[in-house]
């Protein structure tokens, strides 16, 4: 399935950090940047997130107590701007202009609408996007690669405007980090940038929209979150140090990742050379393609309880009459199951902690200021699974608190 996400240049397929299937080459490509995605390093970039959050709040303020807000659009604009800010040190202006600049969001969605079905029948890709005579399809990586190439060239220009100002005002962005070693060529820097550009915005958009929809559909859950935030007396925009241990806020995020994960698709893997005993009666030979859909495992009643098909952030908290040992054991099973949706081992998603940081700060900030309700309380979400999850027509009423 992963080769569908190759770039196609001059008749040659070129893999990227995300879809490199050779374990040795993947490790070599990821090793120089892996530590940058640990939370201890990510918090250094918080000012980029808080700056973009301030812009989001200024936009939401316009809707407070007045017109209905197309929340799905504004969350998408925010997610794309904040990933650009973190990655390149500047925004494209989605929030400022309140529109899809250069159709980048639409192009990303179009590429996933292509990737989702074609990755299940990958030979068809050779007839469509990778057709050597005439390419047919959305050219999945073209917009993202061009954006990354342009940013790298500007950053490395001898007297480019980026070098003169970026370090004076904000902490280093990922592009700064990746360009520190001048021996690293532009091609490698673009390769490192692609995971952020390709996957960071859409998945963050989904999880934020899912949380806001589910809190609106479950008013008691929203009230409990707001009460916890009010008691914390947060400085806004929120800081990770102040929200990382808030139990209900973190429970809300964990429940969202469980309830409808951002990638409810099998992350395919191949059985290694020695094969694998699935159980006492089933042996999987080497090379067998296997996968587990987190959209299914997240609803496993043996792990998450009889109400696994319902939103219930309380499941992540210690229950009345539950010993701490029992709760920790139960919580450990749930955490391991949900974490597996990001992949495992050396192939775990690089950006999982980055997404967590953005979401915690965003939810803490906006719910400390506002109450959100669906325009039509009886409406049901309009969602589409295209490998990433997408939501549309989430119209909300916003009231200041």
Query: Per-residue DSSP letters for 88-152?
Result: HSS---HHHHTS-GGGHHHHHHHHHHHHHHHTTSGGGGGTTTT-SSS--S--TTHHHHHHHHHHH
Structure tokens at 367: 């719910």
C-alpha distances out from residue 14 to 17, 241, 309, Å: 10, 40, 40
Q: Contact 1/291 with Cβ under 8 angstroms?
A: no
Residue 349 annotated as binding? yes
Which CA distances in Å does 188 have to 116, 179, 183, 256, 348?
A: 27, 10, 10, 34, 20
Q: How far apart are CA 138 and CA 150, in angstroms?
A: 20
Residues 6+ apart with CB under 8 A from 20: 26, 29
Q: How many CA atoms lie within 13 A of 143 on its CB side?
A: 17
Binding residues: 349
Binding residues for heme: 349
């Amino acid at each position: 399935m992963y080769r569908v996400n190759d770039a196609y240049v001059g008749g040659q397929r070129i893999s990227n950090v995300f879809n490199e299937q050779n374990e040795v080459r993947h490790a070599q490509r990821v090793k120089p940047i892996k530590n940058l995605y640990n939370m201890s390093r990510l918090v250094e970039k918080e000012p980029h997130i808080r700056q973009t959050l301030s812009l989001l709040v200024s936009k939401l303020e316009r809707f407070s107590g007045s017109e209905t807000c197309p929340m799905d659009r504004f969350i998408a604009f925010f997610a794309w701007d904040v990933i650009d800010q973190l990655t390149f040190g500047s925004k494209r202006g989605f929030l400022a202009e309140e529109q899809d600049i250069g159709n980048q969001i639409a192009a990303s969605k179009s590429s996933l609408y292509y990737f989702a079905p074609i990755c299940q029948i990958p030979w068809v890709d050779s007839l469509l996007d990778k057709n050597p005579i005439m390419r047919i399809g959305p050219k999945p990586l073209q917009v993202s690669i061009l954006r990354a190439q342009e940013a790298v060239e500007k950053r490395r220009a001898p007297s480019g405007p980026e070098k003169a100002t970026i370090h004076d005002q904000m902490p280093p962005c990922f592009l700064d980090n990746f360009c520190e070693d001048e021996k690293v060529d532009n091609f490698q820097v673009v390769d490192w940038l692609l995971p952020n550009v390709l996957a960071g915005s859409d998945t963050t958009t989904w999880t934020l929209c899912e949380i806001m929809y589910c809190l609106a559909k479950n008013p008691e859950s929203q009230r409990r979150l707001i009460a916890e935030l009010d008691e914390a007396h947060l400085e806004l925009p929120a800081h990770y140090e102040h929200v990382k241990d808030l139990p209900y806020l973190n429970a809300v995020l964990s429940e969202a990742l469980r309830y409808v994960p951002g990638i409810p698709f099998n992350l395919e893997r191949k059985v290694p050379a020695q094969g694998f005993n699935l159980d006492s009666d089933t042996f999987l030979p080497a090379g067998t393609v296997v996968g587990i859909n987190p959209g299914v495992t997240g609803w496993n009643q043996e792990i998450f309880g009889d109400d696994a098909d319902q939103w219930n952030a309380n499941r992540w908290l210690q229950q009345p009459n539950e010993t701490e040992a029992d709760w920790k054991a139960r919580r450990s099973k749930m955490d391991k199951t949900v974490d597996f949706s990001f992949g495992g081992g050396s192939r775990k998603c690089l950006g999982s902690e980055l997404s967590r940081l953005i979401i915690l700060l965003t939810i803490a900030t906006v719910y400390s200021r506002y109450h959100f309700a669906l325009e039509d309380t009886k409406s049901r979400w309009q969602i589409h699974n295209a490998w990433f999850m997408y939501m549309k027509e989430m119209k909300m009423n916003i009231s200041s608190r």
